[in-house]
Amino acid sequence: MIVARDAAAARRAAADLRRPVAFVPTMGALHAGHLRLVDAARARAAATIVSLFVNPLQFAPDEDFARYPRAFDADVGALAAAGVDLVYAPEAADVYPPGFASAVVVAGPAHGFEGARRPDHFSGVATVVLKFLHLLAPDVLVLGRKDAQQVAVLRAMLRDLDLPVEILAVPTDREPDGLARSSRNVYLAAPERAAAPSLRRGLGLAAERFAAGAGVAAALAAAEAAILPPLSVEYLAIVDEAAFAPVEDPAAGALVVGAVRAGATRLLDNVAVPRA
Ligand code: AMP
């Protein structure tokens, strides 16, 4: 496995890989969910690239950029053991040198939900992913369904900007009690961790009720009632997975999405509405 610490080395190493190439962007602090993405990448492509980069552009000034968990040596070890071909782990100053002045503007599915609470977040995600796609030129972009709005935003970007890259969206990997794995779960205090699986339970209940014919309001009320303190709901909604706009009727591709606050930490999750 090659570990490239700058863009020139990454470009050279990526160009030598056998095609098709799959690319898994991450912020490191890897957990079993990230490794599921790597497994999916390896099953789909002849070579796999993983980036480890805590992207400052996608954090607001009041967010956790400085304290976001970093575990470079453990991450590199786990990726080597998982059969990854190339790791790209640049410094922020290499990705955004002095004078950096450009960004991707994203609308459509970037509006609302995470986009409303984190105004520059999806532009920051789209900008870094576009840069890495240009540098590494993969055939497949591997993303987790846990961040469903991110998948919708990046799908729109690839389409709108004519990038010949296919998205492989991988199901959410969960703890045994149902909590979606996340690098931020380490922030949870014991009472928050104990209540955390109720987010997934609530979303699942809403998805079942909605599929069975309950209206949106009734389905979401069931979710709200199932989510336990000290979690506090930021939003709950039923959306189309591509447009990320609210839907009124169960349709192919509908998702129940939710975000809760657990102390200083936000937890996100989503559950697909079962098809009739
Ligand atoms: P992050 O390091 O949090 O930016 O996540 C990197 C990629 O891993 C994104 O595509 C996430 O959606 C995906 N991911 C994070 N957690 C999970 C999970 N529990 N299951 C599946 N994919 C995940």
Q: What is the pLDDT of residues 210-251, one digit of tens each?
A: 999 999 999 999 999 999 999 999 999 999 999 999 999 887
Counting ligand 1 atoms within 8 A of each CB, the residue from 34, 199, 270 with the most, and so the one to mutate, is 34
Counting ligand 1 atoms within 8 A of each CB, the residue from 129, 132, 146 with the most, and so the one to mutate, is 146
Q: Whose CA is nearest to atom 5 of ligand 1?
A: 26
Question: Residue-wise over 236-247: b if at least 16 C-beta within 10 A, else e?
Answer: bbbbbbeebeeb
Q: Whose CA is nearest to atom 12 of ligand 1?
A: 144
The residues, ordered by sequence, that sit 6+ positions from 235 with a Cβ below 8 Å of its Cβ are 113, 117, 257, 258, 259
| 34 classed as catalytic | yes
Distance in Å, CA 32 to ligand 1 centroid: 9
| pLDDT tens digits, one per residue of 107-132 | 999 999 999 999 999 999 999 999 99
Distance in Å, CA 12 to ligand 1 centroid: 26
- The beta strands (E) that lie in the chain are given as 2-4, 21-26, 47-52, 86-88, 140-144, 166-170, 232-240, 254-262, 265-272
pLDDT of residue 51: 98
Q: pTM of the full predicted structure? A: 0.98
Alpha carbon separation from 24 to 5, 112, 137 (Å, rounded): 16, 25, 12
Residues in the ligand 1 pocket, defined by CB under 6 Å: 26-27, 33-34, 36-37, 143-144, 146-147, 170, 172-173, 180-183
How many other C-beta atoms can be found within 10 angstroms of the C-beta atom of residue 229? 10
Q: Does residue 271 have a pLDDT over 80?
A: yes
